[in-house]
Structure 1
Amino acid sequence: MAVHVYGCNHIVIEVTDAKEAVKFYSDVFGLEMLRGGEGAAWCKLGEHQFMAIFEVEQLQPDRVKHFGLMVRDAEQIKEVRRKLTKKYKLKMAPHFRCDFRDPWGNRIQVGDLSDESLVWLLPYQEVQKTGITFSKPSRTRAGKGATT
C-alpha cells in the first residue's frame, strides 16, 4: 500500500522569548494559543495544524529554510505587510508579495487562498467554506486556476 500524506501536522520555530513570540504571532496573524509554559507555546494554524514555539538560548538562523502561511486574500496580505513594516519595523524580502523574517530570524512567506498551490487543500472544510472554486486554467492565465 502506498503512503498517502494529507498535509503538514505542525511546524516548529525557535525564539529567545516564547511569550514575546506568542504576542507577535497573535497580533500579526491572530493565532490562537492552544497551550504554553516553561519556554514553549503551541498556536493553532487553521483547523488541522499547529505551530510550536520553543525558547532557546542561542538562535541559529537558517539561510533558506522557511514555511508558508495562508491568509484569505490580498487585503489580508496587505494588512500583514502593514503591521510587519510599520509596527514591527521588519523588512520584506524583495521579489515576494509577503516574505519576511520574524524578530527571531525565522523566515515566513504569506500567501492567500487564490494561490494556485491550494488545489491540494480542497478537502479541508475551511477552504470549501470560503466559496473558492477551482477551474481549468485558461491559456492566458496558465497556472492561475483559482477563482472567487
Structure 2
Amino acid sequence: MAVHVYGCNHIVIEVTDAKKAVKFYADVFGLKMLQGGEGAAWCKLGEHQFLAIFEVERLQPDRVKHFGLMVRDAEQIKEVRRKLTRKYKLKMEPHFRCDFRDPWGNRIQVGDLSDESLVWLLPYQEVQKAGITFSKPSRARQGKERQDA
C-alpha cells in the first residue's frame, strides 16, 4: 500500500520564554492557544495544524531551517512586516519578501495566497472559501515562461 501524506500536522520551535513567545505569536499572527500536548504551549495554525513551543535553557540557532506561514494577501504581509519592524524592532531577512527571525532566532517565512504557485500548499476548498482568484500569472510562472521562451 502506498503512503498518502495529507499535509503537515505541526511544527516545533524552541524559545527561552514560552509565555513571551505565545504573546508574540498571538500578537503578530493572531494565533489561538490550544489545550494539552507536548511542549510548553500549542498554538493553532490554520484548520488542521499547530505550532508547538518548547521552552529550553539554551538556544541553538539554525542557519537555514525555517517554516512558512500563509496569510491572505499583500496587505496582511505589510501588516506583519510593520509590526515586526516597528513594534518588535526585528530585521527582515534580505532578499525575501517577508522572512524574519523571531526574538529567539527561529526563522519564519511569510507568504500570501495571491501567488498561484503556492496554491498546492492549501486544500482547494479552503482557497475557495477565502475567495481567492488568479487573474494574472504568478511571478514564479512568469519567470518560467521567460525561461521557456
The TM-score, its normalising length taken from structure 1, stands at: 0.86
Aligned mates of 1:120, 1:40 — CA distance in 2? 31
Asked if 1 retains the 8 angstrom alpha-carbon contact of 2:91 and 2:100, the reply is: yes
Aligned-pair RMSD on alpha carbons?
Answer: 3.4
Return the offset for 1:56. 0.3
Q: Which has the higher strand share?
A: 1
Asked if 2 retains the 8 angstrom alpha-carbon contact of 1:11 and 1:51, the reply is: yes
Asked if 2 retains the 8 angstrom alpha-carbon contact of 1:66 and 1:108, the reply is: yes
Give the unaligned 5+ runs of structure 1: none
Aligned mates of 2:47, 2:38 — CA distance in 1? 25
Aligned mates of 1:140, 1:38 — CA distance in 2? 38
Asked if 1 retains the 8 angstrom alpha-carbon contact of 2:68 and 2:110, the reply is: yes
Give the unaligned 5+ runs of structure 2: none
Return the offset for 1:119. 2.7
Q: For residues 61-113 of structure 1, what are the alpha-carbon distances to aligned partners after superposition, in whole Å with 9 as ceiling and x for unaligned?
A: 00000000000000000000000000000000111110000000000000000
Q: For residues 25-75 of structure 1, what are the alpha-carbon distances to aligned partners after superposition, in whole Å with 9 as ceiling and x for unaligned?
A: 000000001126996000000001000001000000000000000000000
Q: What's the % identity of the aligned pairs?
A: 92
Q: Which has the higher helix share?
A: 2
Greater Cα shift, 31-40 or 109-118 = 31-40
The alignment of Structure 1 onto Structure 2 pairs a total of residues equal to 145
Asked if 1 retains the 8 angstrom alpha-carbon contact of 2:114 and 2:134, the reply is: no
